[in-house]
Amino acid sequence: MYSDRINSLPPYLFAAIDEGKKEAVRKGVDVIDIGVGDPDHPTPSHIVESLCEAARDASTHTYPSYTGLVTFREAASTWYSEHFGVNVEPLTEVLTLIGSKEGIAHAPLSFLNAGDIALVPDPAYPVYKVGTIFAGGTPYMMPLSKENGFLPDLQAIPKNIAKKARIMFLNYPNNPTSATADKSFYKEVVEFAAENHIIVLSDNAYSEITFDGYHAPSFLNVDGAIEVGIEFHSLSKTYNMTGWRIGFAVGNRDVLDGIGRIKTNIDSGAFEAVQRAGITAMSGSQDCIGNMRKIYMNRRDALVKGLHNIGIAVEPPKATFYIWAAVPEGYSSIEFSTLLLNEAGIVATPGVGFGECGEGYIRFALTQPVERIEEASKRMKQLKLD
């Protein structure tokens, strides 16, 4: 019944996790969901008001521009300059997206022919691999190991693979590992990409969720980066706008043009009222970002303390709202996540759901109040894992 494309997809583990959660709720279990990466706080009110005003303007009810409002792209350009010191030309080096996931999924369609190689991190956000498969490409998995700071070892990629690769996905601050990358790593990436004629697709969705004075750089901060790639950004995590579906990509104009050509044939652009709200988010007060960081930092500290109390050693991450922790000895990642759900009513995500190299780990999301995280810690302590 289904196409080979659909049949070639790996099993979607997250659907099974969701079913397990629903079953627990049906049984009356007080479930604490720290598995989903969806902010639990509402979008700031000034952004909501901006949408309401724009939605009442009938001029926003028609088809939008495929590439996005000029004013939205100008706001994104200014935002990148203010947050990263990166200057991009709004009309040619910024592309509006219906959420960064949409652009990430469409990018392989623009640059891969059947059998072409995409360099994909493992573990990683599943869309990198799935987008490659949908485009008929072949994913070559780059292991992210603790020993290497969860950064890919570019020198370990066989030369014949590097020469055949067309695109490379990167994601720092990283989902799921919460690892960060510095400019020296990005410099290595630029040199590697230039030598092998690879397009770099950097996913920087978590750049603003940082702690302890850390500031995440942009891939485009490095000399030569704009010659070899682009960076995706989303308003989803920065401004608690996951359901709004608005984001953008910046960087190399030819790469953006390729993605734009796919978009003109597949979608009809982002709703202009949402784009206007996005302008308000990027150009208005940024106090909401600072408030968000404080909330996640308190949750991070509470969960790290709770994990230490049950014998799971983790370092407080410098960025993202995830804790990536090794599962207790004797458990697989699925076995441990199943134990947490069935015996403690806690939803967490097994690392293997992000790739084979995620085995042995579990991801916790800081998307519950401190009180619920502390309750989850108490329940885990009662399991007597230590």
Q: Where among 283, 318, 349 does a domain terminate?
A: 283
Same domain flag for 165 and 107: yes
Is there a single domain that holds both residue 124 and residue 232?
A: yes
Domain residues for 357? 4-42+288-382
- Kindly state whether residues 234 and 218 are assigned to the same domain: yes
Cβ count near 313 (within 10 Å): 9
Same domain, 342 and 260: no
Domain end point (choices 283, 302, 319): 283
Same domain, 71 and 211: yes
Gap between the Cα atoms of 164 and 168, Å rounded: 11
Q: Enumerate the β-bridge partners of residue 144.
A: 152
Q: Do 249 and 94 contact (CB within 8 A), yes or no?
A: yes
Express as a percent the part of the chain with pLDDT over 90: 92
* Number of separate domains in the chain: 2
Picking from 378, 235, 370, the residue whose alpha carbon sits closest to that of residue 307 is 378
Please classify residue 19 by burial: count the beta carbons closer than 10 Å to its beta carbon, then call 0-12 exposed, 13-18 middle and 19+ buried: exposed
CATH number for 322:
3.90.1150.10
DSSP 8-state class, residue 328? P
Which residue, 267, 283, 299, sits at the end of a domain? 283
C-alpha to C-alpha distance for 354 and 176, rounded to whole angstroms: 7
pTM: 0.96
- Asked whether residue 246 falls in the same domain as residue 112, the answer is yes
pLDDT-based confidence at residue 17 (cuts at 50, 70, 90): confident
- The pLDDT value recorded for residue 4 is 85
Residue 201 and residue 100 share a domain: yes
Single-letter residue type at 144: L
Q: Tokens representing 54? A: 């724009």
Q: What is the mean pLDDT of residues 34-47?
A: 95
Q: What average pLDDT score do residues 119-145 get?
A: 97
Half-sphere exposure of 365 (CA within 13 A, CB side): 20
Looking at the predicted structure, is the pLDDT value of residue 1 above 90? no
pLDDT tens readout for residues 318-356: 999 999 999 999 999 999 999 999 999 999 999 999 999
Whether 131 shows a pLDDT value over 90: the answer reads yes
Residue 267 shares a structural domain with residue 326: no
Q: Which residues contact 32 (CB under 8 A, 6 or more apart)?
A: 345, 346, 347, 368, 372, 373, 375, 376, 379
> For the chain, what is the mean pLDDT?
96
Distance CA 96, CA 248 (A): 4
pLDDT tens-digit profile of 95-106?
999 999 999 999
Confidence check: pLDDT of 10 > 80 = no
Q: Residue 8's pLDDT is what? A: 82
CB 348 within 8 A of CB 340: yes
Whether the pLDDT of residue 181 is over 90: the answer is yes
Q: How far apart are CA 39 and CA 36, in angstroms?
A: 9
**Does 111 lie in the same domain as 34?**
no
Is the distance from CB of 260 to CB of 95 less than 8 angstroms?
Answer: yes
Q: Say yes or no to pLDDT of 309 above 60.
A: yes
> Who has greater pLDDT, 16 or 358?
358
Whether 7 shows a pLDDT value over 90: the answer reads: no
- Which tens digits make up the pLDDT trace of 262-282? 999 999 999 999 999 999 999
pLDDT band per the 50, 70, 90 thresholds, residue 386: low
Asked if 55 and 125 sit in the same domain, the reply is yes
What is the arithmetic mean of pLDDT over 130-135? 96
Count of positions (residues) in the chain: 386
Query: Which CATH number belongs to the domain containing residue 76 in this structure?
Result: 3.40.640.10
pLDDT over threshold 70, residue 67? yes
Contacts of residue 291, Cβ cutoff 8 Å, sequence gap at least 6: none
Per-residue pLDDT, 385: 73
Dist. CA 274–CA 98, nearest whole Å: 10
Residue 16 shares a structural domain with residue 55: no
- pLDDT > 70: percent of the chain: 99
Q: Are residues 270 and 307 in the same domain?
A: no
